[in-house]
Structure 1
Amino acid sequence: MPDFIKSYVRFVDTFNRRVGLFAMYLIFAMFAILLYSSVSKAFHLPANWMLESAQFTMAAYYMLGGAFAMQTDDHVRMDLFYSQWSVRRRAAFDVVTAIALIVFLGFMLFGGIASTTYAIQFKEKSFSAWAPYMAPIKIVMTFGVVMMLAQATSSLFKDIAELRGRPIA
């Protein structure tokens, strides 16, 4: 593989690993929000912002962690035959699925950009009592799709290199 592809793979893998390791800690933020929600309800001090904040934190958690999960093979895979195949056969199958994933993520990115642009342009708010602006979470979600797209491309390059007999380390 050319050096610029190897550099791309190393950069994307490193970036997604760092963001993914940060995103892992968002689960603790969500737990803290939900704990505060439970305690405040016990003292009859309900806050309108807690449930939606927990939902936004969870969305950021899985959108920012998705690329890292894909990189480390922690995602769900239906494994009836896959584990019994040779490394080259798995790589060939992964090339096909990576291309399908890249097409899907391309559509997701197109929709995410359109939705984010709308949220910014019209100052979109949630239809709840708290009514937070939607642009920040939509930006995070669209960034998560970009990270997944970059990781899918990185995985495609690694699978092609594996098929050629020269794996990218």
Structure 2
Amino acid sequence: MGQQLLLNIRTRVEQFTEYTGKLLSWLTLLMMLLMVLVVVLRYGFNMGWIAMQESIIYLHACVFMLGAAYTLKHDEHVRVDIFYRRFSKKNQAIVNILGTALFLIPVCITLLIISWQYVAASWQLLESSKEAGGLPLVFILKSFIIGFVITLLIQAVAELIKHTTLLFQKQQ
């Protein structure tokens, strides 16, 4: 019963992460089109809007921060794998469990604690851009930090379930 519950949690989290990643991939296309538009307007027509340039920064932050969990799910994150790639699947699972439990989760919790007040203060002020003509949504931009931590934490739980399951399947 407990193992089935864990597998259901893992499945739901991974479905959420996959859906989020696919959605974010479309934001990457939008970001690229906006960048082309900014360049064409600036160099072709000598026109520019700070808000449009800032929107590219917002999209980039959104894709990068909220896409981190998707990257983790697909094991595409940066890894120094001089030894890891030579390990057996069991030993790789142990490394992944230890790395997630000892590094990833504590760092995420620390980031959440440290950034919570920072983001809350921005929301209290409804912080906006300091640039004339900039976007009045800096508080939303800063909220991506919390989104980054939460999505990465829930994917970390799914990773722990996956690697623990793999570890115990190998022992049987």
What TM-score do you get using the length of structure 2 for normalisation?
Answer: 0.89
Partner Cα distance (2:163, 2:130) in 1: 44
Query: Superposition pairs for residues 101-120 of structure 1, below 5 Å?
Result: 101-120=104-123
Q: What's 2:145 paired with?
A: 141
**Contact 2:90–2:170 (Cα < 8 Å) also in 1:** no
Distance in 1, matches of 2:83 and 2:170, equals: 24
2:60: which partner in 1?
A: 58
Instruction: Show structure 1 runs of 4+ deviating over 3 A.
Output: none
Does the 8 Å contact 1:60/1:141 carry over to 2? no
State the one-letter code of the partner of 1:113: W
Gaps of 5+ in 1: none
> Is the CA contact (8 Å cut-off) linking 2:55 and 2:135 kept in structure 1?
no
* 8 Å contact from structure 1 (residues 124, 135) kept in 2: yes
SS in structure 2 of the partner of residue 97 of structure 1: helix
Aligned length, in residue pairs: 167
Structure 2 residue 12 is matched with structure 1 residue 8: no
**CA distance in 2 between partners of 1:139 and 1:132 (Å):** 14
The counterpart of 1:122, out of the listed 122, 125, 136, is 125
Gaps in structure 2 of 5+ consecutive residues: none
Question: What RMSD over aligned residues (CA atoms) do the two structures have, in Å?
Answer: 1.7
TM-score scaled to structure 1, two decimals?
Answer: 0.91
Residue in structure 1 matched with residue 167 of structure 2 by the alignment: 163
